[in-house]
Amino acid sequence: MITIQNNDGGRRVLLLDSPFALDESPDFPEFLFDVVLIANGSVEETKTILNHINPVTSSKCCYKPLFVSATLKGKMGGYDEIIDGYADDMNNIDVLTTIENIINYNTLIGLSATEDPVMSSNQFFIRLTRYLISRKKTVLEPQLDVTASTGYVIPIFDLFYRLGQYELSDYFVFFQSMTEKGMFRATKFVNKVYLCPTCLHSHLLYIQTCPKCGMSSVRTEEVIHHFRCANVTPEHTYNFGGQLRCPKCHKILRHIGMDYDRPALIHTCNTCGNTFIEPKTQALCTCCKQKHEVEELAPQDFNVYEVTAEGKQSIISPNIGFTIYTEFYDNYIDYNRLVSRVRLLAEQKFAGNIEGDVLVGKIWILNSKGETMPIRPEEIELVCRYFPNNKVSAANNITYVGSVIRDIRGQNTEEEIINFQLMMSETLRAAAALLRPGETICYSYMKLQGNQSTIDDFIKEMDYISPTPDDSATFEHANATPGADEA
Ligand SMILES: [Zn+2]
Ligand SMILES: [Zn+2]
Ligand SMILES: [Zn+2]
């Protein structure tokens, strides 16, 4: 059952008691309700509902007050982080106050609900940070959790990590980037820990291994130094029928410190027989099952973070998504800079200073009417990721990839151009996952030809999409190959 009822405060409460594809349903648009109440007495079912209907990732429920049944209080574990209250009666005075406080504060700071679906880790982080601002929970404190990926986790982040919302590497980059930009501030150092360099999980098993063969079946014993004859050998060589007797001079050993001592430990490999003083410590990751030298582990500082006042403003602003993406990637540049760069390269080429080709790839999205769609931050992000060694830019509803194919040894550049085209096609296939029904994503590439006098035409042509793209992919294409975005 799903209905909308008014409460005494005049707020419209969306009431539901079972899983429902709310974001996809045309029957309950976002503007029809202000509050959500999940009226289900089962912990597990309520969790299942919350995986989709929550004030962070659900586009329709974004930042709206959310309540669950009073009987579930204290039983929801990590989900408690996204629940504003436990109540069955939406007219209870505390409930009315909570609802009004949240809605009025969101209005005050200008946080509105209508948003696009969450498509990437970074988009999700912005959404989650907005939610935290909306609930005035702007201090982010890592907690130790034996079941959590990185040992120290911020509980609300971890809840969504477990739901597959983001990658750990993106998580660390996000905190670093937000701190560098002054949007977050580390207020207290918690600990420096070492994570698996492959998967960034913290659950490692430390194993002592033979430095020669790497096996871990190693026995350890003490070394005995006999003062009288200066013999230094492992303890077992002294063992004669329960007595300690020197294997070299055959005297019985009596008092430690007087006639002998035990200066060190020695390890012997049961596999190859090698004896050694320092075993090599390796870390076996219980998550990805890879073995690493301890020196290779990834150090990671955990801090308490606070969202700064400037951070709150920028994060709430609707343009934040774009800023964040572009600043995440070193290879993203302003369109004006890309144009100057292309002009410079073109002049160099025609002056004979560069042997090779100057290419510009263009990617754009068309809707079902054949109109170009505004650039999506996630699209730029993806292109930046697929072309880490190229300059990427965006303007005119087009995402650009600049490329100079140098012909250093006088070789043919044809093969490199084909590689560029293949990479553009691969990017389109991945980006198709970002499309909405009826949309098509296209690319074409321009190769600089002619002479000095054609540079302006080349640059002018960059503003326009090509009527005959070199390749395209559609929304249906993305749906036919789930996982195409995982490349
Ligand atoms: Zn060995
Ligand atoms: Zn001796
Ligand atoms: Zn690992």
* Gyration radius from the chain CA atoms: 31
Integer CA distances (angstroms), 461 to 16, 435, 458, in order: 54, 25, 5
Tokens, residue 262: 């035990």
393-404 pLDDT, tens digit per residue, is 888 889 999 988
Q: Is 482 among the domain residues?
A: yes
Average pLDDT over residues 378-407: 87
Ligand 1 centre distance from Cα of residue 263 (Å):
23
Q: Which ligand is nearest to the CA of 253?
A: 2
Ligand 3 centre distance from Cα of residue 372 (Å):
43
Q: Which CATH number covers residue 393? A: 3.30.70
Tokens, residue 486: 């995982």
CB 353, CB 407: distance < 8 Å? no
SS3 state of residue 270: coil
pLDDT bucket at 365, cuts 50 / 70 / 90: very high
Give yes or no: residues 273 and 333 share one domain.
no
Average pLDDT over residues 441-470: 92
Among 53, 81, 115, give the residue marking a domain's end.
Answer: 115
Ligand 3 centre distance from Cα of residue 266 (Å):
31
Q: Is 316 among the domain residues?
A: no
| Percentage of residues of the chain with pLDDT beyond 90 | 67
**pLDDT for res 460:** 93
47-58 pLDDT, tens digit per residue, is 999 999 999 999
**pLDDT for res 397:** 87
Q: Is 449 among the domain residues?
A: yes
Q: Which ligand is nearest to the CA of 259?
A: 2
Give yes or no: residues 372 and 231 share one domain.
no
Ligand 3 centre distance from Cα of residue 285 (Å):
5
Q: Is 475 among the domain residues?
A: yes
CB 24, CB 17: distance < 8 Å? no
DSSP 373: P
Residue 342 CB-density burial (10 A; 0-12 exposed, 13-18 middle, 19+ buried):
buried
25-74 pLDDT, tens digit per residue, is 989 999 999 999 999 999 999 999 999 999 999 989 999 999 999 999 99
Residue 429 CB-density burial (10 A; 0-12 exposed, 13-18 middle, 19+ buried):
middle
Q: Is 184 among the domain residues?
A: no
Q: Which ligand is nearest to the CA of 194?
A: 3
Number of domains in the chain: 3
Ligand 3 centre distance from Cα of residue 151 (Å):
13
**pLDDT for res 487:** 39
Give yes or no: residues 234 and 339 share one domain.
no
**What is the C-alpha separation between 61 and 82, in angstroms, rounded?**
12
| Percentage of residues of the chain with pLDDT beyond 70 | 94
Q: Is 360 among the domain residues?
A: yes
Q: Is 343 among the domain residues?
A: yes
Give yes or no: residues 2 and 96 share one domain.
yes
Q: Is 289 among the domain residues?
A: no
225-268 pLDDT, tens digit per residue, is 999 999 999 898 999 888 999 999 999 999 999 999 999 899 99
Give yes or no: residues 359 and 482 share one domain.
yes
Q: Which ligand is nearest to the CA of 249?
A: 2
**E-state strands within 227-355:** 231-234, 239-240, 243-244, 260-269, 275-276, 280-285, 291-293, 298-307
Give yes or no: residues 366 and 482 share one domain.
yes
- Axis crossing angle, helix 320-328 with helix 377-386, rounded to the nearest 10: 10
Give yes or no: residues 416 and 337 share one domain.
yes
283-316 pLDDT, tens digit per residue, is 999 999 999 999 999 999 999 999 999 899 888 8
Give yes or no: residues 246 and 98 share one domain.
no
Q: Which ligand is nearest to the CA of 280?
A: 1
Give yes or no: residues 252 and 374 share one domain.
no
Q: Which ligand is nearest to the CA of 216?
A: 1
Average pLDDT over residues 171-192: 90
Of the candidates 62, 309, 50, 320, the one whose C-alpha atom is nearest the C-alpha of residue 174 is: 320
Ligand 3 centre distance from Cα of residue 193 (Å):
14
Give yes or no: residues 375 and 448 share one domain.
yes
Among 89, 115, 141, give the residue marking a domain's end.
Answer: 115
Give yes or no: residues 267 and 344 share one domain.
no
Give yes or no: residues 388 and 456 share one domain.
yes
pLDDT bucket at 410, cuts 50 / 70 / 90: low
**pLDDT for res 444:** 96
Among 259, 278, 297, give the residue marking a domain's end.
Answer: 278
Ligand 1 centre distance from Cα of residue 217 (Å):
8
Q: Which domain holds residue 219?
A: 211-278
List CB contacts of 398: < 8 A, sequence separation 6 or more: 362, 363, 364, 372, 375, 462, 463, 465
- This prediction's pTM: 0.67
Tokens, residue 460: 């002018």
